[in-house]
Chains A and B, each alone.
Chain A
């Protein structure tokens, strides 16, 4: 297991390197530069700025320099936020994006799994139909649309919640709801199907035949087996949540990393673009690894070599 973990961590290096290179090339292909303003700066100023930030060097040289700095953990400077370097900016954005992602994921998992289970255990009941309806509907509505509907209901009509900003639980409520709805629906779907599948298994019938209590059967036999497929989509969903949050961050003006990326692209802020993409890529890769390892914990039959 340790060997497997190390191998997976090592495999991240070439992937991150490839992502770095692709992003580097792409962002320099974006027309315009960081010094384009409404009012053009004097040519000498632009030359001096380029020299200051090493933008006058050939592209390959800039790239090598970036990689060398990256090895030292230095993500470079931002041209938009002159007072902080990219590492600091990302470090300030991380808790925001992470809080949003984790809260959204948390309620999505809790609601999704309980709805899915309730539906499966009371098949063809009102609970079942309600959760199927919920899941079918929210599985296809993007969080961004939901966010707008929530704002109209809770801010415009009911005057209960602020439309934007960050800092209090009130600010967190709508973004987390909007972000978590789609994963909640997908998790409910998978859980329901998976529980139904497990309930049909021979070992469950055997457990009943042995006269075990319903509760024991449910927790020891059904739940553990039914959660494996749920876990398998939980990883990609969490990654999707973290990255998908950037449009939600945009809607609610949440100062997370997603907004930084959008700002970076508009301002041709190369340091910010590279930093946020690398951050997202790393998060996705790590989450996938965590999920794969979690399999082995839930299901002792899975062994990684």
Chain B
């Protein structure tokens, strides 16, 4: 494209001057704002550290999280077992580190399910005829009427099996949030002048949707997805706590709490450590979400009542 437009630029020198200004994209600006938000930055670091721990769990973990040592049952924190051992003599720190694997993968992979259903359906509802739109909106009304954690439990009971089914059960309930959001975004962007311009230039509907509308609607979707991560992590912890999350002996913070609950008077640290882990991860993702929202759309800060 640049080679073709060169002769035109030669005739009109003014645009060259404009181009001399350093390029500043929306994303770059947003990233800069995010870096200046200390709370969000710290949260991002916490998530990064946890992800590294989770990813390299076999290298970092001091013990095998599943191996039982029946000669060292329910030991208090010591030099050998920094956070103690549980009722089967398993190392608590090792189970926490491997539990981060479970929690973070639920947080992330659930969003894959959510986005792969919510994005196309929401975009279709916003862009296509009102009949499609109505159908989807009535469907989401029903979904919203359901108490979502109860629906997740039912789905979980149906799907059974592996951790992938946990992603699926949570995702199948949570996608509604994204679908509604995308629909709203598409509806409001659709009437934008740049869409009219693209249409006047002869662009096709799907092309406009994919190239113009969706990129413009992306900011809120990223923010909403970030907020859905802690909710998914919580859902998994709750499922595992009542015993239908990930299958034992796979470590999960929720099932660690369940395991330790019976001996809470003898060994409170068994439930305290996983509880703190859940709280820290959820706080980190929520603060990061707050930061992303402020960074991507500074106008929302006042309007949505953000604390500063």
Chain A residues within CB distance 8 Å of chain B? 15-16, 18-19, 22-23, 26-27, 29-31, 132, 135-137, 139-142, 144-145, 148-149, 151-152, 155-157, 163, 189-190, 192-194, 197, 229, 243-244, 246-247, 250-251, 261-262, 265, 273, 276-277, 280-281, 284-285
Contacts and interface: CB of A to CB of B under 8 A. Distances in A.
B265 interface: yes
Given A26-B155, A190-B305, A156 B264 contact: yes
B267 to A, nearest CB: 10
18 contacts: A15-B142, A19-B146, A30-B154, A132-B307, A136-B287, A136-B307, A140-B230, A140-B282, A140-B283, A148-B271, A148-B275, A156-B265, A157-B268, A163-B264, A247-B241, A261-B153, A281-B145, A281-B147
B286 interface: yes
B: interface residue count bin? 35 or more
B141 interface: yes
Contacts of B149: 243-244, 246-247
B257 A193 contact: no
A26 B158 CA distance: 7
B305 A229 contact: yes
A193 B305 contact: yes
Given A140-B282, A262-B242, A280 B147 contact: yes
Contacts of B155: 26
Contacts, number: 123
Which among B238, B241, B244, B307 has the highest number of chain A CB atoms within 10 Å?
Answer: B307
Interface in B144-178: 145-151, 153-155, 157-158, 160
A192 B305 CA distance: 8
Nearest to A277: B150
Contact of A280 (B142, B150, B282): B150
Interface in B36-61: 39
Nearest to A135: B307
Which among B261, B265, B287 has the highest number of chain A CB atoms within 10 Å?
Answer: B265
B241 A144 contact: yes
Nearest to A283: B147
A304 to B, nearest CB: 18
